[in-house]
Amino acid sequence: MRWKEQLLKLKPYQPGKSTGEVKRQYGLSDIVKLASNENPFGSSEKVREEIAGYPGKFSVYPDGYASELRTSLAEHLGVSEGQIILGNGSDEIIQMIARGLLSPQTNTVMAAPTFPQYKHNGIIEGCGITEILLVNGAHDLEGMAAAIDERTSVVWLCSPNNPTGIHITEEELTAFMARIPDDVLVVLDEAYFEYVTAENYHDSMRLLQQYKNLIILRTFSKIYGLASFRVGYGIAHEDTIRALEPVREPFNVNSLAQAAAIAALSDQAFIDECRRENRAGLQQFYDFCDHAGLKYYPSEGNFILIDLNRNGQEVFQFLLERGYIVRSGTALGFPTCIRVTVGSKEQNDGVIRVIKEFL
């Protein structure tokens, strides 16, 4: 078979161990998973009510244009319906952008380390990939702008960045956009946007009005607590969305997921509460790290990258055997770190207690 050569070198995505597997392997009854930046408080009660009373027919295809969800989102964001594209998670929007714009004749620029799907999809499309190292956990936007050449078609930004939690400021983003040629698409992945509290965070919606070559990605998987439903979306100029739409699978967001997302969006009080709880949780980690003399990256997301100055894999294993699943920094490009999702107060206390035991 004539596979693309680069596909044979790629590893499939391997999710971490399931909680069931960890329970069996280590004879544990309780597991706390703080590895995938999910919402520890679940989702709004309104979602459960909506799903319990779901009136739709399972024998019919979903609304391929997700009209109702689109209307709700457009109102919520203050943009037109034509400025939105829906995806089976923002993972799928990343894939659509790569499929539509990347090819062996092009190259793409991204930070490193950052969310791995940008590179993964770039490799699948066989394009050139330029990675610009983070500086103190933040994007080197100067370096990224300088790396753009006449073959560049897509630049990926992640704010707050996964796995460091560092955001791009308004000033930085404005200066960056002014330097980017009109025919280069800038993808600004804001999967953790709703957790942000920094006052100098960029006003991405305002920038959208100014720049036709900007697309913003957001998701219902994080603060909205709907990771299992797989709903993400892109917001851009109508022309950009129009060009991407033919790449989208016709029925990519299922009916239950659409209903769940509408219900979740209608409960902003839940979102505000989760943001507040997350801030308090981050503070628990900051206090612990400051007290223990550990370096960490101040985070605008719902996770924290902690440098333990030891092999991250060892810490990961120690925590795993005691019922806490976190992410080892080894796989994230920070070999002496672990990335911990901010959980409930009890979960945070628990994981901090075990890290203390390790130290």
Comparing CB distances to ligand PMP, the nearer of 100 and 163 is 163
Which among 83-91, 171-179, 243-251, 285-293 is the span making contact with ligand PMP, rule CB under 6 A?
83-91
Distance from C-alpha of 145 to C-alpha of 214, rounded to nearest angstrom: 14
**Angle (deg, nearest 10), helices 67-77 and 255-265:** 30
In SS3 terms, 145-194 reads as: HHHCCCCEEEEEEECCCCCCCCCCEHHHHHHHHHHCCCCCEEEEECCCHH
Query: For strand 185-189 and strand 152-158, is the pairing parallel, antiparallel, or unpaired?
Result: parallel
**Sites for ligand PMP among residues 217-246 (CB under 6 A):** 219, 221, 227, 232
Distance from C-alpha of 186 to C-alpha of 110, rounded to nearest angstrom: 10
Q: Does 37 bind ligand PMP (CB under 6 A)?
A: yes
Which among 59-67, 86-94, 243-251, 310-318 is the span making contact with ligand PMP, rule CB under 6 A?
86-94
In order of 29, 61, 133, 335, the CA distances from 112 in angstroms are: 37, 40, 5, 14
Q: Does 91 bind ligand PMP (CB under 6 A)?
A: yes
Token pair of 314 as six digits = 């060892």
Distance from C-alpha of 197 to C-alpha of 254, rounded to nearest angstrom: 32
In residues, how long is the chain? 359
Q: Does 38 bind ligand PMP (CB under 6 A)?
A: no
Q: Does 89 bind ligand PMP (CB under 6 A)?
A: yes
Residue in 34, 66, 84, 158 binding ligand PMP, rule: CB under 6 A: 158
Which among 89-97, 170-178, 197-205, 343-351 is the span making contact with ligand PMP, rule CB under 6 A?
89-97
Comparing CB distances to ligand PMP, the nearer of 40 and 288 is 40
Q: Which residues contact 183 (CB under 8 A, 6 or more apart)?
A: 153, 213
Which among 18-26, 85-93, 277-285, 333-341 is the span making contact with ligand PMP, rule CB under 6 A?
85-93
* Adjacent-strand bridge partners of 145: none
Cβ at position 93, least distance to ligand PMP in Å? 8
- Among positive and negative, which fits the CA dihedral 204, 94, 167, 132? negative
Q: Does 159 bind ligand PMP (CB under 6 A)?
A: no
Which among 17-25, 88-96, 169-177, 256-264 is the span making contact with ligand PMP, rule CB under 6 A?
88-96
DSSP state of 246: G
Q: Does 189 bind ligand PMP (CB under 6 A)?
A: yes
Distance from C-alpha of 226 to C-alpha of 220, rounded to nearest angstrom: 5
Q: Which helix (H) or strand (E) holds 111?
A: strand 107-112
Comparing CB distances to ligand PMP, the nearer of 96 and 288 is 96
Q: In whole angstroms, what separates CA 214 from the centre of its chain?
A: 17
**Sites for ligand PMP among residues 110-129 (CB under 6 A):** 115
Which among 87-95, 149-157, 197-205, 350-358 is the span making contact with ligand PMP, rule CB under 6 A?
87-95
Q: Does 331 bind ligand PMP (CB under 6 A)?
A: no
Cβ at position 276, least distance to ligand PMP in Å? 21
Number of residues forming the site for ligand PMP (CB under 6 A): 13
Residue in 191, 261, 304, 342 binding ligand PMP, rule: CB under 6 A: 191
The binding site for ligand PMP (CB under 6 A) comprises: 37, 89-91, 115, 158, 162, 189, 191, 219, 221, 227, 232
